[in-house]
């Protein structure tokens, strides 16, 4: 167990190191440094002025020096400062994190509950009309690009229903600490968009996993003991069937940081996805790096947690 943890943490650090090198490399291959300097110098900036700005931002140093400088600061808990306003990247991330966390947690609750519920019904009433319609709608939403679903929801709820209700604002974000009611209103459509697109996989996975478990001997034993069907399903079958669903949920929440880019852009939510898009357009490397490393860390940690959880949930799994 200790060996497993040491090895996995070592691998994770290696993966994060390579990821940051990749992002660094991509940036310096492109027009990034020049673009930033030219932006500062303005339209009339001379070559000397551009060179001076690059010097001030340390963009004229050899890449390996810039990298080791950044990595050294990161190891001391400092993400660096953004090029344009000189804000600490840590506080930029801290400001952008709450909207993203609100979005992902809320959507995850909806997609897990909806996905598991429809999956269980589909498996228990296999081949019924309900199963067919749940399976068909799962395929439908699975095929739906996020931005198409988001725009469709905006069209229906924010515009077509606007004479009836103004309950669905569709652009912006209100922190829960400012006004919980408005926070909820502003997030309904983004939550639904993210949840419906993601829930499809859960419906299908829960259905398949549940069908498999319902054919197991211990389910038959439970039934033959005279247990009610409801109890057989909730107490015996569902618990075993949920293992792969838990795995998927862990991985999905870990990768959600990258997945929210389109939803945040569409609904004007100033979260991490929106921030990173802005940073890429301005070629603001410290912010791109900070958010990428944060996202990569989430993925790596989620993977590790899922592996550990697997060992806890399923005694047959040995970690070595």
Partner 1 sequence: MSMPELSSAGMSETLIEEGAAPASKKIEGRSPWRLAYERLRHDRAAKIALATILVIVLLALLAPVFAKILGHGPNQQFIDIGENANGGPVPPSGTFWLGTDNNGRDLFIRILYGARISLIVGVLATGISVVLGVVLGLAAGYIGGLVDTVIARLIDVMLSIPFLILAISIAYISGPSLFLVIIIVGVLSFTYLARIVRGQVISIKSREFIEAARALGARPWRIMFVDLLPNVMAQVIVYATLLIPAAIVFEASLSFLGVGVPPPTADWGAMISDASGFFQYGYWWFLFFPSVALLTTTLAFNIFGDSVRDALDPRGAGIYV
208 binds partner 1 (CB under 8 A): yes
Q: How far apart are CA 247 and CA 257, in angstroms?
A: 17
74 φ, ψ (degrees, to nearest 5): -60, -40
- Which CB sits closer to partner 1, 22 or 94? 22
Q: Among the candidate windows 85-93, 94-102, 149-157, 217-225, which touches partner 1 by CB under 8 A?
A: 149-157
Q: Is 5 in the site for partner 1 (CB under 8 A)?
A: no
**Least distance to partner 1, CB of residue 86, Å:** 23
Regarding 26 and contact with partner 1 (CB under 8 A), the answer is yes
| 257 contacts partner 1 (rule: CB under 8 A) | yes
Torsion angle of alpha carbons 64, 69, 71, 77, nearest 10°?
A: -170
CA distance 53 to 270: 29
Spatial distance between the Cα atoms of 78 and 286, rounded to a whole number of angstroms: 11
Helix (H, G, I), strand (E, B) or coil at 127: coil
Q: How far is the CB of 260 from partner 1 (least distance, A)?
A: 9
Give 282's contacts (C-beta < 8 A, 6+ positions apart): 36, 39, 83, 84
- Rounded to 10 degrees, the C-alpha dihedral 223/228/232/235 comes to -140
Least distance to partner 1 from the beta carbon of 235, Å? 25
Which helix (H) or strand (E) segment holds residue 134: the answer is helix 129-143
Least Å distance between CB 303 and partner 1? Answer: 8
Q: If we measure between CA atoms, which residue out of 279, 49, 75 comes closest to residue 57?
A: 49
Per-residue contact flags (x/-) with partner 1 for residues 285 to 304, judged by CB under 8 A:
---x--xx--xx--xx----
In degrees, rounded to 5, the angle at the alpha carbon of residue 55 between the alpha carbons of residues 54 and 56 is 90
255 lines the binding site for partner 1 (CB under 8 A): yes
39 lies in the site for partner 1, by CB under 8 A:
no
Min dist. Cβ of residue 224 to partner 1 (A): 25
Count of residues interacting with partner 1 (CB under 8 A): 51
> Which of 279, 300, 303, 299 lies closest to 23 in space, CA to CA?
279
Q: How far is the CB of 234 from partner 1 (least distance, A)?
A: 24
Per-position x/- string for 261-280, each x denoting binding to partner 1 as judged by CB under 8 A, each - no binding: xx--xx---------xx--x
DSSP class of 268: T
Two tokens, residue 69: 């400088």
- State the residues that interact with partner 1 by CB under 8 A: 11, 14-16, 18-19, 22-23, 26-27, 29-32, 139-140, 142-148, 151-152, 155, 159, 205, 208, 211-212, 255, 257-259, 261-262, 265-266, 276-277, 280-281, 283, 288, 291-292, 295-296, 299-300
């Amino acid at each position: 167990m200790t060996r497993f943890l040491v090895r996995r943490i070592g691998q994770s650090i290696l993966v994060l190191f390579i990821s940051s090198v990749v992002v660094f490399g991509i940036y310096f291959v492109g027009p990034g440094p020049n673009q930033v300097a030219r932006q500062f110098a303005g339209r009339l900036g001379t070559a000397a002025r551009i060179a001076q700005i690059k010097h001030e931002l340390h963009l004229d140093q050899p890449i390996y020096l810039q990298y080791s400088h950044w990595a050294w600061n990161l190891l001391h808990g400092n993400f660096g400062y953004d090029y344009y306003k000189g804000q600490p990247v840590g506080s930029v991330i801290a400001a952008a994190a709450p909207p993203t966390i609100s979005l992902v947690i809320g959507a995850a609750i909806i997609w897990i509950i909806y996905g598991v519920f429809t999956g269980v019904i589909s498996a228990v009433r296999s081949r019924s009309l309900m199963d067919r319609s749940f399976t068909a709608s799962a395929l439908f939403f699975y095929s739906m690009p996020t931005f198409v679903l988001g725009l469709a929801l905006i069209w229906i709820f924010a515009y077509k229903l606007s004479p009836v209700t103004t309950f669905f604002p569709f652009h912006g974000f209100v922190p829960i600490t400012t006004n919980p009611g408005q926070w909820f209103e502003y997030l309904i459509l983004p939550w639904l968009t993210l949840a419906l697109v993601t829930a499809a996989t859960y419906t299908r996975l829960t259905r398949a996993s549940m069908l498999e478990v319902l054919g197991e001997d211990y389910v038959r034993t439970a039934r033959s003991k005279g247990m009610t069907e409801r109890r057989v399903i909730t107490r015996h079958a569902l618990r075993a069937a949920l293992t792969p669903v838990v795995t998927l949920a862990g991985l999905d929440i870990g990768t959600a940081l990258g997945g929210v880019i389109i939803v945040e852009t569409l609904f004007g939510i100033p979260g991490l996805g929106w921030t990173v898009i802005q940073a890429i357009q301005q070629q603001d490397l410290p912010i791109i790096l900070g958010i990428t490393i944060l996202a990569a860390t989430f993925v790596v940690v989620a993977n590790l947690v899922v592996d550990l959880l697997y060992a806890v949930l399923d005694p047959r799994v040995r970690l070595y």
